[in-house]
Amino acid sequence: MSQRLCSGRAVMLDPRTDGAVVNEYIEAVRQLACEILDLLGEGLGLKDPRYFSKLITNADSDSLLRINHYPPSCTIHKLDHDDQCNIKSLVSTKASNGGNLTAGGRIGFGEHSDPQILSLLRANDVDGLQVLLPNRDGKEMWVQVPADPSAFFVNVGDLLQALTNGRLISVRHRVIATACRPRLSTIYFAAPPLHARISALTETITASTPRQYRSFTWAEYKTTMYSLRLSHSRLDLFNIDDDDSGNASEGKA
């Protein structure tokens, strides 16, 4: 699929350099992520139900908070692609996160799965988020996630899929923001330390569900991810008996 893209706008916040309010929010949302992960650990019958949350409470955790801003797009629809990109570049900071404006004049965030363990997203009341789900016939279709500023949208990340041997699935999602009002979203990406080894937990491996992925470090996964397109199904590259060279040759973002 070819798309002509110009960069979107994202603000990366780092608790070491940003203010107290951000730190407070990060701490609250990190605790929420831990509670959710502990419940998942219990539900999966792990010997150590806190295994997942310990990865993100580790002092070297690579977790981060990202704020995405999608400008109103109803007026941009009428412009041609070059004008769209010129206008966008006036209001944009450089983004490497897939924020984009497509040739059709749609502002959004390209299809992807979140690579970390768990993502907690909060947004304003402007729609745009869509998830890829199988319908009754087993075909995949994009389903709109209704905007709800009072709720968190929680995503399983690729690492949690690997740690649970595919019991929990990292859902593919995207943003298509076509509203006349800006969409704002804040996402906390709960991640382990770079050196953490990601390997399916023994409780998730059975005779009928053998180990699906080879073990890797989060650092290794990140390096692989940054060499691929945003839309790449990167976890497939770690399948134990899968040579996914076709997918790998897709190109770079």
Ligand X SMILES: O=C(O)CCC(=O)C(=O)O
Q: Does 188 bind ligand X (CB under 6 A)?
A: no
- Residue in this structure with the two tokens 């319908």, named with its chain if needed: 135
* 185 touches, from ligand X, Fe ion, none (C-beta below 5 to 8 Å by class): ligand X
Interface of this chain with ligand X, residues 86 to 115, rule: CB under 6 A: 97, 109, 114
Query: Which one of 5, 53, 61, 114 is in contact with Fe ion (CB under 5 A)?
Result: 114
Residue 146 CB coordination number (10 Å): 8
**Strands 197-198 and 216-217: what pairing?**
antiparallel
- Considering only the stretches 71-79, 121-129, 206-214, 236-244, report the one whose residues sit in contact with ligand X under the rule CB under 6 A: 121-129
Query: Which one of 66, 122, 181, 211 is in contact with ligand X (CB under 6 A)?
Result: 66
Query: Which one of 5, 156, 159, 187 is in contact with ligand X (CB under 6 A)?
Result: 187
Q: Does 129 bind ligand X (CB under 6 A)?
A: yes
Both tokens of 120, joined, read: 């907690």
Query: Which one of 9, 173, 232, 234 is in contact with ligand X (CB under 6 A)?
Result: 173
Q: Does 175 bind ligand X (CB under 6 A)?
A: yes
Give the distance, in angstroms, between the CA of residue 142 and the centroid of all CA atoms in the same chain: 16
> Strands, E, within 172-226: which ranges?
173-177, 183-190, 197-198, 216-217
Contact predicate 185/169, CB 8 Å: no
Q: Where are the alpha helices (DSSP H) in 92-186?
A: 158-163
Q: Does 68 bind ligand X (CB under 6 A)?
A: yes
Q: Measured between alpha carbons, how far is 38 from 156 in angstroms, rounded to an integer?
A: 14
- Interface ranges with ligand X (CB under 6 A): 66, 68, 97, 109, 114, 121, 123, 129, 173, 175, 185, 187
